[in-house]
Amino acid sequence: MTALLRRDLKLAVRAGGGFGLGLAFFLIVTVLVPFGVGPQSELLSRIAPGILWLGALLACLLSLDRLLALDWEDGTLDLLATSPLPLEAALGIKALAHWITTGLPLVLAVPVLGILLNLPAQGYGWLVLSLLLGTPALSVIGTFGAALTVGVKRGGLLMSLLVLPLYVPTLIFGAEAARRGATGMDPLTPLLMLSGITAGVVAIMPFASAAALRVNLR
Amino acid sequence: MSMTEDTATPKRPSGFWSYANPVKFLGLSERVLPALWGLAALSLIVGLIWGFFFTPDDFRQGSTVKIIYLHVPSAMMAINAWVMMLVASLIWLIRRHHVSALAAKAAAPVGVVMTLIALCTGAIWGQPMWGDWWAWDPRLTSFLILFLFYLGYIALWEAIEDPDTAADLTSVLCLVGSVFAVLSRYAVNFWNQGLHQGASLSLDKEENVADVFYFPLLVCIAGFVLLFLALVLYRTGTEIRLRRTRALQAREARL
C-alpha cells in the first residue's frame, strides 16, 4: 500500500504529472473573479468564501481524469486488480494520493488567495479548516466518477457531468461553514455535517468505485 | 418444447419473476398497453377538463391555481420515476434480468421530462405569484439537482457502447446518485435556512387544498401514473426489440 502511494506521488510530482496545474488553475480562477464581478472590496469579501470553495472544487475536478486514465492505458489497473491488495484499498490509496497532490496544496494556498479576494481576517482559520475537512470527500467522490468513466474515450466532460451533482452536499456545507466563519457566526454545525459527509464518503465510496472499476476491467 | 427439455431446466421461475423473460414481458405488455393508454387518456382528459373549467378560482391566487393539475402530478412522477429506476437497477444488479435494466433505461427520459414539466409549470406559476420565475427555495433547488442527476444518468447510458457494461455502470451510478440526491435534499434545506427564507414560499398541498381542487387533482395524478406506466412499458418494449434487431444483424454479419 505504501509502495503504491509512493509510486502515485512520484508520478504526480515528476514531469508531466500535472502537480502544479491544479494550483495554477485555482489561482487563475481567483484572479478572474474580480474581473467578472468588479473590484468593490466589500462585495468581494462577502463572496470570497464561496468563490474560494468553488475554485478549489473545480481545481479538484480538473485533475480527476488523470487519476485513473493513465494507469488504465498502460495496464497498471489490470495488475492492481489481480494483485493481492483489494481493489477497494488500491482505489482508496489512489484517492489519498490525489488528495495529497491536489487537495492539500489547495488548502495551503487558500490563505494567500484569500488576500486577493479581501477575505475578512476572522474567516481564514475557518476557511482553511473547512477545506481541510472537505477536500478529502471531493477526492474520494471524484475517484468514483473516474472509475465510472475510465472506459469511455474522452470521458472528461461526461465525468464532470456525473461528479458535479455528487459534489453538491459537500459544497453546501463547506461553503456555509466558511461563510459563517467569515461573517462571525458560529460555523460549528455545518463543520460537523461536513466532517460527517467526509467520513461517510471515505468509508463507503471506495466500494462503489471498486465495483464500477471491476465492471470496466471485465 | 418437449417434456425432457422442460425438466432439464432446473427451476422455471413463476409468478412475478417469469416476466423477466423478454418474450413473456412483451406478450404481457402488448395485452396491457391498449388498456393503459386508454385509461391514461381518459383520466387525464377528465381530470384536466374538470380541473381547468369546472373548479372555482382561488380567492387569492385567481385562476393561476389551476396549474396545480399539471405541476403536482408531474413533480410526483419525477421522483417516483427515479425510485422506479433505483428498484430496477437493484433487480438488475442482484438478479441480472435484462428486462429490468432496459426498463430503468426506458424510464429515465420519461423522468427527465416530468422533472422539466414540474420546473416549467412551477416557473409559470411563480411569475405572477412570487413575482419571479425562479427562487432558490429548497424544493426548487432540489428538483434542479434531480434534473442534473437524470442528465448524468442518461449521458452515461449514451456514452458506453457495450450494453451490459452500460447497464452495470448506470445501475451503480443510480444507487450512489440516490444516496446523494437524498443527501442534497437535506443539505439544501439546511443551506436555505441560512438564507432566511421562510416556509411562506412553499405551498403545503395536503393541508391547503380544499376538496373542490383535491378530487380533480387525484384524477390527474392517477392519469400521470397510468401515462408513466404506459410510456415505460412501451419504451421498454422498444428497447427489447432494438436489442433483438442488433443481435440479428450481428448474426447476419457473421454468416
pLDDT digits (tens, 9 = 90+) for B69-105: 888 889 889 999 999 999 999 999 998 888 999 999 9
pLDDT of residue A2: 80
- Map residue A180 onto helix, strand or coil: helix
Assess if residue A166 is contained within a domain: yes
Q: How far apart are CA B150 and CA B78, in angstroms?
A: 10
Give the structural domain span for A112.
Answer: 57-217
Closest by CA to A64, choosing from A209, A198, A218, A211, is A209
Assess if residue A49 is contained within a domain: no
- CB of B149 within 8 Å of any CB in chain A? yes
- CB of B172 within 8 Å of any CB in chain A? yes
Q: How far apart are CA A106 and CA A202, in angstroms?
A: 19
pLDDT of residue B200: 35
Distance from CA of B189 to the nearest CA of A (A): 10
With CB atoms and an 8 Å threshold, state whether A215 touches B152. Answer: no
Number of domains in chain A: 1
- CB of B151 within 8 Å of any CB in chain A? yes
Of A14 and A53, the one with more pLDDT: A53
Assess if residue A2 is contained within a domain: no
| Tens digit of each residue's pLDDT (9 = 90 or more) over A59-97 | 999 888 888 888 888 888 888 888 888 999 999 999 999
Assess if residue A92 is contained within a domain: yes
Nearest CA in chain B to A190: B190
What are the boundaries of each domain within chain B? 31-254
Confirm whether pTM is higher than 0.95.
no
pLDDT of residue B3: 42
With a cut of 50, say whether residue A9 has pLDDT above it: yes
The CB density around residue B30, as the number of other CB atoms within 10 Å, is 12
C-alpha to C-alpha distances, A41 to A45, A46, A127, A161, B43, nearest whole angstrom: 6, 9, 18, 33, 59
A168: nearest CB among B145, B151, B156: B145
- CB of B183 within 8 Å of any CB in chain A? yes
Chain A residues near residue B175 by CB distance under 8 angstroms: 208
CB A206 within 8 A of CB A141: no
pLDDT of residue A15: 60
What residues of chain B score a pLDDT lower than 70? 1-14, 58-62, 192-212
Assess if residue A144 is contained within a domain: yes
Read out DSSP for chain B? --HHHHHHSS----GGGGGGSHHHHHHHHHHHHHHHHHHHHHHHHHHHHHHHHSSPPBTTTBGGGGGHHHHHHHHHHHHHHHHHHHHHHHHHHHH--HHHHHHHHHHHHHHHHHHHHHHHHHHHHHHHHHSSS----HHHHHHHHHHHHHHHHHHHHHH--SHHHHHHHHHHHHHHHHHHHHHHHHHHHHHHHHTT--GGGS--HHHH--HHHHHHHHHHHHHHHHHHHHHHHHHHHHHHHHHHHHHHHHHHHH-
A165: nearest CB among B148, B165, B172: B148
B196 Rama sector, left if φ>0, alpha if ψ -120 to 50, beta otherwise = left
Show the cell assigned to B35.
Answer: 388498456
pLDDT of residue A22: 84
With a cut of 60, say whether residue A47 has pLDDT above it: yes
| Tens digit of each residue's pLDDT (9 = 90 or more) over A125-176 | 999 999 999 999 999 999 999 999 988 877 788 899 999 999 999 999 999 9
Distance from CA of A212 to the nearest CA of B (A): 6
Rounded mean pLDDT of A7-12?
A: 78
Interface pTM, i.e. ipTM: 0.87
